Amino acid sequence: MKIRFWGVRGSIASPGPKTARYGGNTTCIEIRTDNNELIIIDAGTGIFPLSQALLAELPVTANVLITHSHWDHIQGLPFFIPNFIPGNLLRLHGAFDPVSGKGIEQVMSVQLQYSYFPVREAEMKARIEYVTLMPEVPVQIGSATVTPYLLNHPVINFGYRIECAGKSVFFTGDHEPPYNIYEPGDEEFAEYQRFVVDRADGILRGMQGVDVLIADCSYTDQEYAAKKGWGHGTFNSSIQYARDAKSRVLFCTHHEPTRSDDALEEAFKHAMAANPHKPGDPDIRLACEGETFEF
């Protein structure tokens, strides 16, 4: 399998000289199976440069897995160039939204309203298909098995485990380790704690034994104290996930948009110092826009 990062910033695109090394585009990850089948995880602004690269291999069949419907994970979809070219296929996968009562098709229909975008969905030249996924129900995409797992974010958010030819990768999307929202003395504490434990067990089961874990490392522990409940992880929480899951490699991603590359490296250095390497630990890296990892 081959992974290429096209967008690694969180929340809002942050281009400029201070983010030039690690990149300013929002989340988009390209995965190629050993058969060169194309899977794209999330469609932040990073999907636009990816779509430009895909013009060299038309016609394109793109299976896009959407973790959740927040803007920084879908805002590049209207600019996915193969959508404008006949003969291509975009197959969009994602969750049913219990709030709107709609499936993954809404991420296109909302953005392509004429008030917001000059080209309507009906005017796209490529074929667009929608696949609504259910938690822990695997689907086959070519030679790859993809299993969505429900993670913790203020909207329905899927983490994805992708397995192919004995290799595996898990991407968390935006994820905050689940915690009990009640105090120990509250009447609801015990029941909610069972929910927390079940959710945590399910998440770790999805990550277990993967070759590559790509995880939300938005905050330091110090920053997290003021941002608890926002739905994002820390360097330390993701390192712990990688250790518990016995992952071979951890890529830290969803870099805080206000953090310069220098500050990002400094935060990463402190995280490494707080988590000295032990036998069996994963190789821990900062995800970098444009980087390719093959295994």
Give, as one character, the DSSP assignment of residue 97.
B
Residue 100: pLDDT band (50, 70, 90) is confident
pLDDT tens, position by position, 204-214 = 999 999 999 99
Count of domains observed in the chain: 1
Q: Is the pLDDT of residue 98 over 90?
A: no
- State mean pLDDT over 80-98: 96
pLDDT tens, position by position, 173-210 = 999 999 999 999 999 999 999 999 999 999 999 999 99
What are 232's two structure tokens?
A: 């994002």
Question: In this structure, which amino acid lies at residue 161?
Answer: R
| Edge-to-edge strand list for the sheet holding 38-41 | 127-133, 89-95, 61-65, 38-41, 28-32, 2-7, 292-294
Distance of CA 266 to the CA centre of its chain: 23
Contact predicate 39/146, CB 8 Å? yes
- Return the bridge partners of 29, or none: 5, 41
What are 215's two structure tokens?
A: 């995880």
In the chain, how long is the greatest CA-to-CA distance?
Answer: 61
- State mean pLDDT over 88-97: 96
Contact predicate 292/4, CB 8 Å? yes
- State mean pLDDT over 30-43: 98
Provide the domain limits for residue 265: 2-294
C-alpha R_g of the chain: 19
pLDDT tens, position by position, 104-117 = 999 999 999 989 99
DSSP output for 219-284: B-HHHHTTTTTSS--BHHHHHHHHHHHT-SEEEEESB-TT--HHHHHHHHHHHHHHS---TTPPEE
Residue 291: pLDDT band (50, 70, 90) is very high
User: Domain containing 23 — which CATH number?
Assistant: 3.60.15.10
**Is the whole model's pTM more than 0.85, yes or no?**
yes
pLDDT tens, position by position, 209-250 = 999 999 999 999 999 999 999 999 999 999 999 999 999 999
What are 250's two structure tokens?
A: 């951890």
| Alpha helices by DSSP H, 165-216 | 189-207
